[in-house]
Amino acid sequence: MNNLNRKKVNSIGVFDSGVGGVGVVKELKHVLPNENFIYFGDSLHAPYGEKTPEQVFELVHSVVKHLLDQNVKAIVIACNTATSVAAERLRNMYPDIPIIGMEPAIKKGISSEKRNRVLVMATPVTLNLEKYRRLQQRLDPYADFLAVKCPGLAKRIEQANLDGEDLKEMLRRFLDPYKGTIDCVVLGCTHYPFVKKHIQEILGDIPLIDGGKGTARQLKRVLESKDLLNDQTCEGTIDFQSSTKTEEELAIYRYLYDLYEV
Ligand code: DGL
C-alpha cells in the first residue's frame, strides 16, 4: 500500500471535553458515511469551559497527541471552548495535519428581513476570549447579540440523565430573563444540543442554531481538497474512547449518539 492510500483509509480523530462531541460525530458520520472515526471524550477533565485557557490548552494538547499516536489523517475539535483556546496554536505546531475547529455559529442568527435579537449560549471560557469578541464585533452591525455564560451546564449534561428537574431548573435560571424577547438561540457549546427540548420549553418554538452540520460540510471540503477522502464503499466505523477508561462512560457516549437527531 502506498503512503497516499494508507492515509486515505486512516481514521479521523474527533474530540471534546466529554459527551458534547458525540452529537458532532453523528453529524460527521451522516455526511461522510464511509469514513472511520475515533471519538475521544475527555470526560475525566470536563468541563473545559471553567478552567484557565492554559489548563485547557494542556489538556487539549495531550488529547491531540493521543489521536496522532493512532495515526489519524485529520482532527476535528468538536468543542467550541477547545477551539477558541487551542486551534490556532495547534495548527502552527502540526502544520501537516488538517485541524477543523468549531466556533459559535452566530452568523447564522442574522436575518435579512429584520434586526434579530440573538441569544448566544456558551461556556465562560469561550465567551471571555478575544476570539469571540472579535467574531461578535464583526457581526454587531447586523444583529443584537446577547451572550449568556452557562457555568455548570456542560458538567450537568455530562451526567446524561437529561430529564432531571435540576437540569430544567438550571436552564430556567439562565434563560427566564430572555423569555419572549429573543428571535433565535445559538448553541455555542457542543453539549447544549442535548437539551434543545428544554430550551424550547422555556423560550418557545424559536430556531436553535448549532455548528454541527457546518462542521461536517467543512470537514468534507477539507478532505476533498487534500485528496484524503476514504474511497472504501463499506460503512465506516466509530471507535469511542474516553479518558475515564470506563465501560460506563462509553455506554453514555453510545446512548447519546443514538439519542442525537441529525
Ligand atoms: N463542549 C464544549 C464546547 O463546545 C465544552 C464544554 C465544557 O467542557 O465546558 O464548548
CA of 1 to the centre of ligand 1 (A): 39
Q: Which of ligand 1's atoms lies nearest the C-alpha of 48?
A: 8
pLDDT tens, position by position, 18-29: 999 999 999 999
In the residue annotation, 189 being an active-site residue is answered as yes
**Residue 172 confidence (pLDDT):** 98
pLDDT tens, position by position, 45-62: 999 999 999 999 999 999
Residues 163-173 have a mean pLDDT of 98
pLDDT tens, position by position, 107-149: 999 999 999 999 999 999 999 999 999 999 999 999 999 999 9
**Residue 6 confidence (pLDDT):** 60
CA of 192 to the centre of ligand 1 (A): 9
Sorted by sequence, the CB contacts under 8 Å of residue 209 that are 6+ apart come out as 105, 108, 109, 184, 185, 186, 187
User: Residues near ligand 1 with C-beta < 6 Å?
Assistant: 16-17, 20, 46-49, 79-81, 123, 126, 154, 189-191
pTM higher than the cut 0.95: yes
**Residue 5 confidence (pLDDT):** 56
Instruction: Check if the beta carbon of residue 50 is closer than 8 Å to that of residue 161.
Output: no
Residues 141-166 have a mean pLDDT of 97
pLDDT classification of 1: cutoffs 50, 70, 90: very low
Distance CA 158, CA 191 (A): 8
Distance CA 240, CA 254 (A): 8
Whether the predicted pLDDT of 35 surpasses 70: yes
CB atoms within 10 A of CB 244: 17
In the residue annotation, 234 being an active-site residue is answered as no
**Residue 148: exposed, middle, or buried by beta-carbon count in 10 A (0-12, 13-18, 19+)?**
middle
Among candidate residues 150, 184, 189, 234, the one labeled active-site is: 189
Q: Which of ligand 1's atoms lies nearest the C-alpha of 50?
A: 9
Instruction: Check if the beta carbon of residue 79 is closer than 8 Å to that of residue 20.
Output: yes
Residue from 44, 187, 191 to probe ligand 1 pocket by mutation (most atoms less than 8 Å from CB): 191
